[in-house]
Structure 1
Amino acid sequence: MDKLNRCRRWGLATAYFLLAGTGVARAEFPEKPITLLVPFAAGGPSDKIARELAESLRKRLDKTVIVENLGGAGGTLGAAKVATASPDGYTLLIHHIGFATAPTLYRKLPYKGIDDFAYLGLINEAPSTLIGRNSLPAKNFAELRRWIAADPTKVNLAHAGVGSASQLCGLMIQSALKAEMTSVPYKGTGPAMTDLMGGTVDLMCEQATNAVPQIEGGKVRAFAVTSKDRMKHPVLASLPTLAESGLPDFSVTVWHGLYAPKNTPGPVLAKLNEALRGALKDPELIKRQEALGITVVSDARVEPAAHKKFVEAEVARWAKVIQAAGAYAD
């Protein structure tokens, strides 16, 4: 009997270690709260999106998702923190288009680049709007284009700092117009928008998320949207696209993606991707995003492989723009 009991105990121990090797015997992920890191200051577009997504993820993972902000250096400080975090799925990064531009924009990154991350899926896409001070002599884009062409260097183009979506969009517009305007950097969207409304600067290319309230309130003049197609949002529906306004094939959207540290276990990534896909089908999340002029992604890019392929294409696309403009960060 003792020999039989020893055999049974040996068999159970062997089974345990075999199962542990496959991850079956481990406690099911997640066991504790998850941190969703936003590499920008609180209150901005990325922060708003992160907080809405966090609540939807919480419902699907049945664990608290804590939003943490770590701004600085165009989002690279926050990205570096996630890149070097424990690859266990408990520290995630939400990042916008700057994730793809940083490898070209910054000569020295505090992490290796986009291969330092595991891809979980694309979240959304938001157009930007080309807006100007109310006292501009131009009433529409055609008039604005002629006004800029008269003397581009006298046109003050505001943006929210190096690596910001507003700077990148502004670079693309200048490239399309073949007009080098005077760049006016700010430490964030808030002060840039304040000066635009006050008439201190002339133009700004800003995400619809932030621009809609100012357009609706008549505090700035809107000339066009940067999306491929016109927007259905009630405030933006009447605005033409830049493509139909004489800049063929112009299309710039500010997208957000979700990432984990490289080497995060496959089963954990699968669980997180499943939760993300579920969140992006949440009617409440979709409704709130659409109210801000944002489109929730519903195509293949919600899957990790397609998400990574999309980002790689964006890296190549923006590298050309940044290199042509010589707009490198220190």
Structure 2
Amino acid sequence: MKKLTTALLAAAAMTSVSAGIAFAQADYPTSPVTIVVPFAAGGPTDTVTRLIAEPMSAELGQQVIVQNVAGAGGTLAGTQVANAPADGYQILMHHIGMSTAPTLYPDLAYNPLEDFEMIGLVTNVPMTVIARKDFEPNTFEELVTYVQENADSVTYANAGIGAASHLCGLLFMSAIDTQVTTVPYQGTGPAMTDLLGGQVDFMCDQTTNTTGQITSGEVKGYAVTTPDRLDALPDLPTTAEAGLEEFQVGVWHGLYAPAGTPPEVIEKLTAALQTALQDENVITRFAELGTVPVSLEEATPEAHEAYLAEQIDLWAPIIEAAGEMAQ
């Protein structure tokens, strides 16, 4: 009888715990949610995150806080969230670097496809090829020729290994079969500062970080890396128009939660993301920055996971051919 009573008490306790967990999931969130950004405040990924944070807060009924954890090409933030409690209170916003990290970092502390639950894609930001305003080439075609003829003296700035500007540079140099001197910085801000100051020749970066400088004439704009011209930069030709069809790249962003986060929590986060992507202010501000929200079909865990796997396969041979793995 005593054993039966003990067993019944244990079962009741387990039922109570399960019910408590289920209730907590159903009641999620009951406190602020943090979106970890792998790069410094003020950069393109930070800008995208802060724009969606407010409408996500309204949908979730809790404040969405943005935390910047910069370093190691975004892998510090990735490691932090991969090891965070799987309860939906700490999630990650990352860009294309999530698909290149497995090849760039042989000792990566996480597997992007196994150590995270996908929440949904957010946006695909076009890239622009820009240069210091007094750089000799005046068109994209002239830039390609100039770089090929002066490869030993030309300098290309990027925001560090794994940054969007680094990846865009790899693809550009692969497309024109020419290697130039690269100058890595600790973030987009310092790279842009030196470009504006004329210390480096050219770079490639997201429209969220370059549109203002191009339209103001602070830098020389050459092309956009998209199939079509952008409304925000109508005078810039596409790289395909300029004769380099194989040089097309966009910097997509997605939201991630730690592996094991309950489906009910992921569902709520995905719903909040989709609400944010339909917000008029988000749509307007994205347009001003030269991008648009993804479709609601793309802002889902299923579409996100499929796209991430596809992008990992796309970038691996390009990075390996360039031999630019982090040590």
TM-score by length of 1: 0.91
Partner of residue 265, structure 2: 268
2-side partners of 1:164 and 1:25: how far apart? 37
1:229-262 per-residue CA deviation (whole Å, 9 max, x = no partner) reads 11111xx111111112111243211111001000
Q: Does 2:293 correspond to 1:284?
A: no
Which letter does structure 2 place at the counterpart of 1:127?
P
Q: Does 2:110 correspond to 1:119?
A: no
The count of aligned residue pairs is: 317
2-side partners of 1:272 and 1:198: how far apart? 42
- Native 8 Å contact 1:52 1:285 kept in 2: yes
4+ residue runs over 3 A deviation: 16-19, 24-27
Q: Indicate the SS of the match to 2:76.
A: helix
2-side partners of 1:224 and 1:212: how far apart? 12
Aligned pairs for 1:55-134 within 5 A: 55-134=54-133
1:70-128 per-residue CA deviation (whole Å, 9 max, x = no partner) reads 11100100111100000011111000111111010001112233310000000001111
- Native 8 Å contact 1:100 1:114 kept in 2: no
Cα deviation for residue 228 of structure 1 reads: 1.9
Higher mean displacement: 83-92 or 49-58: 49-58
Higher mean displacement: 83-92 or 36-45: 36-45
Gaps of 5+ in 1: 1-9
Q: Does 2:239 correspond to 1:207?
A: no
1-side partners of 2:325 and 2:219: how far apart? 29
Cα deviation for residue 156 of structure 1 reads: 0.6
Residue of 282, 295, 300 corresponding to 2:297: 300
Partner of residue 5, structure 1: none
Partner of residue 186, structure 1: 185
Question: 1:243/1:182 Cα in 2 relative to 1: closer, same or farther (>3 Å)?
Answer: same
Which letter does structure 2 place at the counterpart of 1:81?
Q
Partner of residue 4, structure 2: none
Aligned pairs for 1:165-176 within 5 A: 165-176=164-175
Q: Does 2:257 correspond to 1:257?
A: no
Q: Does 2:67 correspond to 1:49?
A: no
1:174-205 per-residue CA deviation (whole Å, 9 max, x = no partner) reads 00111111111111111211211222211100
Q: Indicate the SS of the match to 1:260.
A: strand
Partner of residue 6, structure 1: none
Partner of residue 194, structure 2: 195
1-side partners of 2:78 and 2:277: how far apart? 23
Partner of residue 3, structure 2: none
Q: Percent identity?
A: 47
Which letter does structure 1 place at the counterpart of 2:126?
P
Higher mean displacement: 180-189 or 72-81: 180-189
- Native 8 Å contact 2:168 2:249 kept in 1: yes
Cα deviation for residue 17 of structure 1 reads: 4.5
Partner of residue 239, structure 1: 236
Question: 1:82/1:238 Cα in 2 relative to 1: closer, same or farther (>3 Å)?
Answer: same
2-side partners of 1:271 and 1:79: how far apart? 21
Partner of residue 3, structure 1: none
Q: Indicate the SS of the match to 1:75.
A: helix
The CA RMSD over aligned residues, in Å, is 2.0
TM-score by length of 2: 0.92
Question: 1:136/1:86 Cα in 2 relative to 1: closer, same or farther (>3 Å)?
Answer: same
